[in-house]
Amino acid sequence: MPAFALPSLVCLRSVYNDKYLRYRYENDQTRGLLQFAGENVMDPYGQFEVEQAKTWAGLVHLKSRYTNKYLVRWPPNHDWITASAYTTNEDQSSWACTLFKPILVEDSDGTKKLQLLHVQLDNYACLSRSAAPFDSCLFAGSKHPDKDSCDVFAIINWESIFRFPRRVAFKGDNGLFLGATMHDGQPGLRFAFSNPKDPQVVQ
């Protein structure tokens, strides 16, 4: 199947267990790993930025929006994927390579689904069926597509479901809108305006 372009901000839902991929922080042993355990698309631990590779067409880096770190192996002798790399690494011979190849999976229902190939390992990223606490965590240990679709993920374009309007006004608990004011000759912001169209209201 061909590589294809991803949206710039995504959530990934496992076809196997119907859960969203999220950063795992609850368990000391697995903190930093990624697990298909999210219940809804608005989970702040489950949003990932997509950055195109600079030196390789069709390859991407994925960055956890919660940790602001890139997905990478954890550590060189493991296939677990963690959100812990401070910078991108496009050296395909390095265990710290952060490149993935998104591969489109054809689906009869018209939903866009993908597989992620870990470029350095040349393995598919999969949901793990290991025992707790590693159950449902993401690892790159499969040379071949999984027969149960543990390596197939639905793509949710997060920006398409949650988008601010071009202009907004902020209303305080006093019923007034936030705007620019002067106090003792110093500029500041206060919830002090009754009309959201007032030119001093922050938009």
Question: What average pLDDT is seen over the chain?
Answer: 89
Asked whether the predicted pLDDT for residue 131 surpasses 80, the reply is yes
pLDDT at residue 1, as a whole number: 47
pLDDT at residue 190, as a whole number: 87
Task: Report phi then psi at 161, rounded to 5.
Answer: -105, -15
What does the pLDDT look like over 14-42, one tens digit per residue? 999 999 999 998 878 888 899 999 999 98
What does the pLDDT look like over 41-80, one tens digit per residue? 989 999 999 999 999 999 999 999 999 999 999 888 889 9
> What percentage of residues in the chain have a pLDDT greater than 70?
94
Asked whether the predicted pLDDT for residue 193 surpasses 60, the reply is yes
Q: Is 1 exposed, middle or buried (0-12, 13-18, 19+ CB in 10 A)?
A: exposed
Asked whether the predicted pLDDT for residue 3 surpasses 80, the reply is no
pLDDT at residue 200, as a whole number: 82
> Which residues have C-beta within 8 Å of that of residue 176, sequence separation ≥ 6?
191, 192, 193, 194
pLDDT at residue 169, as a whole number: 84
Asked whether the predicted pLDDT for residue 154 surpasses 90, the reply is yes
Domain ranges of the chain: 9-161, 165-203
Q: 59 to each of 5, 70, 85, how far by Cα in Å? A: 9, 14, 17
Q: Which two tokens stand for residue 112?
A: 């866009």
Q: What is the pTM of this model?
A: 0.78
Could you check whether the bond before residue 187 is cis, i.e. omega within 30 degrees of 0?
A: no
Q: Please identify which residue in the block is written with the tokens 């000391």.
A: 28
Strands 113-118 and 153-157: antiparallel
Q: Positive or negative, the Cα torsion across 64, 65, 70, 74?
A: negative
Task: Report phi then psi at 100, rounded to 5.
Answer: -130, 150
pLDDT at residue 53, as a whole number: 96
CA–CA gap between residue 187 and residue 176 (Å, rounded): 18
Asked whether the predicted pLDDT for residue 82 surpasses 60, the reply is yes
More confident residue, 154 or 161: 154
Class of domain 9-161: mainly beta
CA–CA gap between residue 72 and residue 33 (Å, rounded): 10
